[in-house]
Amino acid sequence: MVKGAAIETVLLLRQCPPALAENYTVAVRDINAALLEKQQELLARAEQAPLELPPLLPQPNACDFPNSRKRKMTGYEAVLQEEVDAKVQRRGEAIRAQDDADFRQRWFEQSVKDIIEQDGPPLSYDNPSPPPSYQPPHPHHCPRPTICLPPLRHLHPPPPTATTGNEQRN
């Protein structure tokens, strides 16, 4: 298009008499300068604000009813359904957390029971010495390093002994 306009301008310029040709050339030069200036402004504006698509409009929350295909849920019904779904999910997470805690408790109790069965019955207060067949394990040997604990005898005080009435007054 620009090429065609330039060719027409040159052909018209050749047909004009010399007095009009000079004025015509000056007018074409001025129009060309104005067009170049406008084009530069348009390019600068396009670089400053590139064309972008606007953000997408929010889509309606048209959820299907779980048991009906005749119509979609309204917005209010969809919000209610989301609340019910969130409540069901929280309840399921709480049940799973409780199951995990129960499993850990049963595992701990079973581990303690296994350790007690493996080490034998605890020593009584009446007979604090171990039975003759008992041999304490090597201090650096522990059959279950994650569960092996020192005996807790020092935490349990000996049972009270019988006292006379005179000793209680002191």
Structure token digits, residue 103: 């499993």
**Each residue's pLDDT tens digit, 103-123:** 999 999 999 888 888 876 555
**Each residue's pLDDT tens digit, 32-84:** 899 999 999 998 888 888 778 888 888 766 677 777 667 777 778 888 888 99
**What's the pLDDT score for residue 37?**
94
112 shares a domain with 81? yes
Q: How far apart are alpha carbons 72 and 66 in whole angstroms?
A: 10
112 shares a domain with 66? yes
110 shares a domain with 67? yes
Q: Tell whether 22 is covered by a domain.
A: yes
Q: How far apart are alpha carbons 14 and 120 in whole angstroms?
A: 123
Q: Is 38 helix (H, G, I), strand (E, B) or coil?
A: helix
Q: Tell whether 15 is covered by a domain.
A: yes
* pLDDT (mean) for 120-132: 57
Q: Tell whether 132 is covered by a domain.
A: no
116 shares a domain with 66? yes
Is there a contact between 57 and 42 (Cβ–Cβ < 8 Å)? no
67 shares a domain with 44? no
**What's the pLDDT score for residue 130?**
55
Q: Tell whether 165 is covered by a domain.
A: no
**What's the pLDDT score for residue 166?**
55
Number of domains composing the chain: 2
- How far lies 85's CA from each of 73, 92, 97, in Å? 15, 11, 18
Domain with 76, as residue range(s), is 62-120
Banded pLDDT at 127 (limits 50, 70, 90): low
66 shares a domain with 44? no
- How far lies 130's CA from each of 3, 13, 48, 123, 125, in Å? 113, 127, 90, 7, 11
